[in-house]
Structure 1
């Protein structure tokens, strides 16, 4: 068993939909040069033809509840400024073959925007909370926006093939494209699904590079400490029984299991060794209008949950009252986000929409439980979010082991760097070793109103991986813990 497979389970499931369209593949019709480079850079490998699929859709795993998916923008070699997103294919009732315009209108009107090429660049990430069991299809609007298409759909049909902004939207579902031609490649490997789009319709002049947009989709599941205890203590015994080893082997394995338990269980329980929130944290504010442990971050701020209009579903609304130039945002000190972050590289992700006011800065902030030095460190994220724009996604990775100089080189600043009269901050490593609160802070001239959605803290599982090394001594074998099933086109 690959040990990391226990720690990060990425579910990639694409289902079959009857198709009359053509199929194009990198291995069968290529190789395409830019795709070859991309496959090597993401760790799948250019010559790994077994990784290529003919998937048109992505089925979200599970049968109930919501699932957090992470989209990562990998490549953009085209000159068009595109809009990209997804929709639940079951929401579209028109025929992609006989009612192309109606199908496109219906799909995009019910879609969720993920990346806008005017705002996002490769390496951007976006988290979306999606109902389990949904079947997602993808769209790309070359050189235009979803809003403009929906306000003037007749201009886009029949599709233009010249270099102009009136090309029909392109879809992962080939039947919906001009000429029913395939415009997307897909691959699985390295624990994610990779999709690549060609933004010039193959019904006209096209360069066939298939990296005008490349993105990955994955889902991260990290076991709770109790699950780790189960794996360390119960699973070895189950394997022993199932394999019916000789008595000598049973005694040997039990002794190893007991030794590992005596060694590792105290480490799991000890705050000194594992004080960080091992399972990560996410919140999308979709349940019962509950602020879910978040509160106002300044004296003039109020926070509440709006049940619709989020990205998608509900979202946390932060608004200023009384002072037009005072910061707003939200802060939390939930047990899942405070404590010692040592032992892993982390990524924080969230979505933001500025609803009203004149925005001038946005920060992610970690405060410390250190007397006289609690103001912590902040990461300036952007100064360019126009009011009234669609939701925008932000992500930032950080290493608690950085020195102060390394943290500053990565763009982090202390509170005094922003306000010289502020209380001093502890060192970077001391702050991340004793986090007391996590804050999203927004400044500008108001009255300010902003929406926050899909906040997530994700640790790399290196420290948990160390705990699982002991399983190798029990010779568990190389059983698969997940399967990725992709449908194929006819």
Structure 2
């Protein structure tokens, strides 16, 4: 009975520790070094993304390209609806986004960071990252912001509001998708560009530096809790 009580106490201690970890501000990122997509998809019905294990900045990266011969949107890019990249940015303490980009081939008009509101019936806010990427070279970008900005403050900082989009503050309180979008000229339709994306990160205030954080699966979480329970059990036995 005493051993069972110690084990339950260990599990309780592990649960408390896990709650503290889950509630803490944490950066989240992807570097695609394993060649997996980690929930990222093409940004339109006419684009696709591929996980490349080499050629990134460094290691792996995400390649975006047209998925068909025609692309009426004339855009390529990648987006994610993963919970770690969406939701309430103010509550999560997110105030900076960074990414590395590489125009692998072709031409471009501009490339933007896009945060879409709530669901597919709305658009979002965009921030122009560049209008001229050199072909075959990686460039690093960082965008700092305050999720509680007024529209005037966001626009003054370089953000642009798309049609059918609420205020900047409301959008960042309920982000539906996080996206990198590249527009290319009509003259480039016959030879559409390809875009490399690497080291995408949401930076949370007070999080410090953290490693890339892919979504934690059930097996990993179960092993983590059991391991923490065992540590709590050992400590209580020594007490």
Same fold (TM over 0.5): yes
What's the CA shift string for 1:383-427, capped at 9, x where partnerless?
A: 021223x111111011111001101001000123xxxxxxx1011
1:433 and 2:173 aligned = yes
1:413 and 2:160 aligned = yes
**Structure having the higher Rg:** 1
Matches within 5 A, 1:283-298: 283-287=30-34, 289-298=35-44
Matched residues, number: 185
Give the Cα separation in 2 of the matches to 1:404 and 1:226. 40
By how many angstroms is 1:280 displaced? 2.3
1:386 to 87, 110, 134: 134
Give the Cα separation in 2 of the matches to 1:376 and 1:230. 32
1:365 and 2:148 aligned = no
Is the CA contact 1:309–1:315 (under 8 Å) kept in the aligned structure 2?
Answer: yes
Is the CA contact 1:285–1:316 (under 8 Å) kept in the aligned structure 2?
Answer: yes
Give the Cα separation in 2 of the matches to 1:315 and 1:410. 29
1:351 and 2:97 aligned = no
Hey, which of these two has a bigger chunk of strand by percent? Answer: 2
By how many angstroms is 1:230 displaced? 4.9
| Local SS of the residue matching 1:406 | helix
Q: CA 1:337–1:345 in structure 2 vs 1: closer, same or farther (change >3 Å)?
A: closer
By how many angstroms is 1:441 displaced? 0.3
- Provide structure 2 residue ranges, at least 5 long, that are not aligned to the other structure: 1-14, 208-239
1:451 to 196, 217, 221: 196
1:334 and 2:74 aligned = no
Q: Report 1 or 2 for greater relative contact order, CA contacts < 8 Å, sequence distance ≥ 6.
A: 2
Is the CA contact 2:25–2:205 (under 8 Å) kept in the aligned structure 1?
Answer: no
Give the Cα separation in 1 of the matches to 2:196 and 2:44. 16
1:300 to 46, 49, 56: 46
Give RMSD over aligned pairs: 2.4
By how many angstroms is 1:229 displaced? 4.4
Is the CA contact 2:94–2:202 (under 8 Å) kept in the aligned structure 1?
Answer: no
Tell me which residue corresponds to 1:397: 144
Taking structure 1 as the reference length, the TM-score comes to: 0.36
By how many angstroms is 1:278 displaced? 3.1
What's the CA shift string for 1:55-102, capped at 9, x where partnerless?
A: xxxxxxxxxxxxxxxxxxxxxxxxxxxxxxxxxxxxxxxxxxxxxxxx
Q: CA 1:312–1:407 in structure 2 vs 1: closer, same or farther (change >3 Å)?
A: same
By how many angstroms is 1:281 displaced? 0.8
Tell me which residue corresponds to 1:280: 27
Q: CA 1:323–1:340 in structure 2 vs 1: closer, same or farther (change >3 Å)?
A: same
| Local SS of the residue matching 1:299 | coil
1:319 to 41, 52, 65: 65
| Local SS of the residue matching 2:177 | strand
Is the CA contact 1:359–1:387 (under 8 Å) kept in the aligned structure 2?
Answer: no
Tell me which residue corresponds to 1:178: none
Matches within 5 A, 1:29-428: 227=17, 229-230=19-20, 278-287=25-34, 289-320=35-66, 321-323=68-70, 326-343=74-91, 344=93, 346-369=95-118, 372=121, 374-388=122-136, 390-416=137-163, 424-428=164-168
| Local SS of the residue matching 1:358 | coil
Tell me which residue corresponds to 1:78: none
Taking structure 2 as the reference length, the TM-score comes to: 0.71
Give the Cα separation in 2 of the matches to 1:314 and 1:226. 36
Q: CA 1:309–1:326 in structure 2 vs 1: closer, same or farther (change >3 Å)?
A: same
| Local SS of the residue matching 2:170 | helix
Q: CA 1:440–1:377 in structure 2 vs 1: closer, same or farther (change >3 Å)?
A: same
Q: CA 1:371–1:285 in structure 2 vs 1: closer, same or farther (change >3 Å)?
A: closer
Is the CA contact 1:370–1:434 (under 8 Å) kept in the aligned structure 2?
Answer: no
Give the Cα separation in 2 of the matches to 1:226 and 1:437. 31
What's the CA shift string for 1:189-221, capped at 9, x where partnerless?
A: xxxxxxxxxxxxxxxxxxxxxxxxxxxxxxxxx
